[in-house]
Amino acid sequence: MFRFFENLVDPYCDYPERDRPPTRLWPFMKLYAEPFRRVFFWTAVLSVVVAAIEIGLIYYMGRVVDLLGGDPAEVLAAHDVELIAVGLFIVFLRPLLHMLDVALLNNAILPNFGTLIRWRAHKHVLRQSVGWFENDFAGRIANRIMQTPPAAGEVVFQVFDAISFSLAYLIGAAILLAAADLRLLLPLLVWFALYALLIRWTVRRVGPASQAASDARSTVTGRVVDSYTNIHSVKMFAHHDRELSYAKEAIEKTRSTFQTEMRIYTKMDMALVTLNGLLIVGVVGWAIYLWAQGTASVGVVAAATALTLRLNAMTGWIMWALTTFFRQLGVVAEGMQTIAQPVDLVDDPDAKPLRLVEGKIEIRALSHHYGRGAGGLDRISLSIAPGEKVGLIGRSGAGKSTLVKLLLRFYDPESGQILIDGQDITAVTQDSLRSHIGMVQQDSALLHRSVRDNILYGRPDATEDEMIAAARQAEAHDFILDLADPQGRTGYDSHVGERGVKLSGGQRQRVTLARVILKDAPILVLDEATSALDSEVEAAIQDTLYGMMHGKTVIAIAHRLSTIAQMDRILVMDEGRIVEEGSHSALLAQGGLYAQFWARQSGGFLNPEAAE
């Protein structure tokens, strides 16, 4: 039975991806609710039916009270079939309808709705550019991805479990009282008007207060995760107290925003108790007055009393449900600041996979300043022949990393073009572009998974032997066999920790090299590929690096000039432009900037801040 309801909606169903999701709350919710339309309809219908049954039971209890005023034998003789039928309805049909209502809500909607939002939100965020991630805390992004789905699920739950039920109940209560005596409707209407004003007052304040509190919680998560991620720096610089103060500032803001939110609830509760007292006295007192005047039966008084006591119990729940509804909407609105952000770096609608034949790279008048008007690249033009090995050097900020990021299309250039085998990279799919480029970065971060998973990330369909061969080439196989993690996993099965923290810098770099060796892409980018290696390991791996380069088009960035001295051509960058190019010997003979770098380097390293 459960499986039937749980499978009514597939949270992973295909859907048209949008680069620009709705930025307004209700269109956003409607977009995610699209697969649930039929389930929502029947849940709403059943919620109204359940509320109508509850009202009907109160009405019938009043009728029973009136019937009991007669002779028992005559009452049972005249109404035995009716009483038995109602009893059977209460025992069998009422639980069945209630079960269907609960199953649709608890089993069909809640698990799947939150899952659908989390899946689609994560999928949307993964499509964002590298630059987008660089502008936010990873912790805050993750927190919004995690807290928005349950909040949206709570919104849906309150709509069907409380709001639709309570509206149907209030309408049924009004009909019941009016049917008994139209005058009984007057105190209910007065109470309802005051209750609506209280709801309006509460809702207008809860939404913004909740969004502020949710945003504050996300900030706390972002700051705490930032400290944990950079724990080595925190410990190394002995900034334990500084990090505590940094977190405390955000934690205190969370407390303050939460206090503001809770004050609203306290005021609401005080007003609600007063209003409910007026409701009980007004309706029950009026019913007793009508009974005393002989215009209402005891059954009417009993029904009116039961109804007002039920409303008294429900109003707190309804108010809490409404405030929860709008509070969770505030959480969803805060989450939308991440989930609903447009994906700006997208494939062209007519983009085709990159067809790499030779590996020729052409850069034409390329400029990119990150929107600042300065820094980055300034009208770079360059042609790299198929199979050519090009070294790239320059001071920090000269534009080397920017050039690589544009080649990988982590950003779109502000002007100019990059072509690979004559194809503009903005006109091919991003995945096909990056699948043809292997890159070893200076920051050799790894996934918090096994060594095997990290190496196979380069080519998931590789065999075990191919994976081990790549590790051997990267001088990594021997140390991998000696690895063990706290869970008892060893060798290639051992986990490396977040960003590979359980490995040394040289070990991480060799695993990274193994991953790129396994990928075997025709274009190779080395960004300080040996920066984390000691001299002995670097010497051992130099042959591997040159072996990796064989038959590939290579761009190698290095501050250690000895690592690029054997390149076919060396480009010297300064202030976003190429100022010198040639072979190692030719550049030394020129006596220019490269020669100055070579003369100033100590132990083969370039001082990136050295002045001309």
Residues (pLDDT < 50) of the chain are 602-606, 608-612
Q: Which residues contact 449 (CB under 8 A, 6 or more apart)?
A: 495, 496
Task: Find how far residue 79's CA is from the centre of its chain.
Answer: 61
pTM as predicted: 0.75
How many angstroms separate the CA atoms of 29 and 150, rounded? 13
How many angstroms separate the CA atoms of 138 and 222, rounded? 7
Q: Which residues contact 139 (CB under 8 A, 6 or more apart)?
A: 221, 222, 223, 224, 225, 226, 229
User: Which residue type is seen at 175?
Assistant: I
Spell out the SS3 assignment of 352-406: ECCCCCCCCEEEEEEEECCCCCCCCEEEEEEEECCCCEEEEEECCCCCHHHHHHH
- Count CA atoms within 13 Å of residue 599 on its CB side: 11
Residue spans in the chain of domains classed CATH 1.20.1560.10:
9-339
Is 450-520 a CATH 3.40.50.300 domain?
Answer: yes
pLDDT for the residue 611:
40
Say if CB 559 and CB 602 are below 8 A apart: no
How many angstroms separate the CA atoms of 109 and 33, rounded? 10
* Best CA proximity match to 381, nearest among 398, 399, 362, 394: 362
How many angstroms separate the CA atoms of 536 and 547, rounded? 18
The CATH label, of 1.20.1420.20, 2.60.40.740, 3.40.50.300, 3.10.20.70, for the domain at 347-436+521-535+549-612 is 3.40.50.300
Residue spans in the chain of domains classed CATH 3.40.50.300:
347-436+521-535+549-612, 450-520
How many angstroms separate the CA atoms of 6 and 50, rounded? 21
How many angstroms separate the CA atoms of 230 and 224, rounded? 10
pLDDT for the residue 41:
92
Counting beta carbons within 10 angstroms of the beta carbon of residue 612, is it exposed (0 to 12), middle (13 to 18) or buried (19 or more)?
Answer: exposed
Task: Find how far residue 435's CA is from the centre of its chain.
Answer: 26
User: Which residue type is seen at 137?
Assistant: F
User: Which residue type is seen at 463?
Assistant: T
Q: In terms of residues, how long is the chain? A: 612
Name the CATH topology of 9-339: ABC transporter transmembrane region fold (1.20.1560)
CA angle centred on 564, ends 558 and 568, rounded to 5°: 135
For tokens 């300043």, name the residue.
369
φ, ψ of residue 480 to 5 degrees: the values are -65, -40
Distances (CA, A) of 411 to 132, 199, 338, 370, 518: 10, 48, 19, 9, 26
How far the first Cα of the chain sits from its last, in Å, is: 77
pLDDT for the residue 165:
73
* Best CA proximity match to 490, nearest among 504, 480, 478: 480
Condensed to tens digits (0 to 9), the pLDDT of residues 120-177 reads: 999 999 989 888 888 887 778 888 888 889 888 888 888 887 777 777 777 877 887 7
pLDDT for the residue 601:
66
Distances (CA, A) of 35 to 20, 112, 117, 147: 19, 10, 11, 21
pLDDT for the residue 387:
92
Q: Which residues contact 222 (CB under 8 A, 6 or more apart)?
A: 136, 137, 138, 139, 140, 143
DSSP string computed for 533-594: S-HHHHHHHHHHHHHHHTTSEEEEE-SBGGGTTTSSEEEEEETTEEEEEE-HHHHHHHTSHH
Counting beta carbons within 10 angstroms of the beta carbon of residue 113, is it exposed (0 to 12), middle (13 to 18) or buried (19 or more)?
Answer: buried
Say if CB 367 and CB 378 are below 8 A apart: yes
Task: Find how far residue 84's CA is from the centre of its chain.
Answer: 55
Q: Which residues contact 174 (CB under 8 A, 6 or more apart)?
A: 185, 188, 189
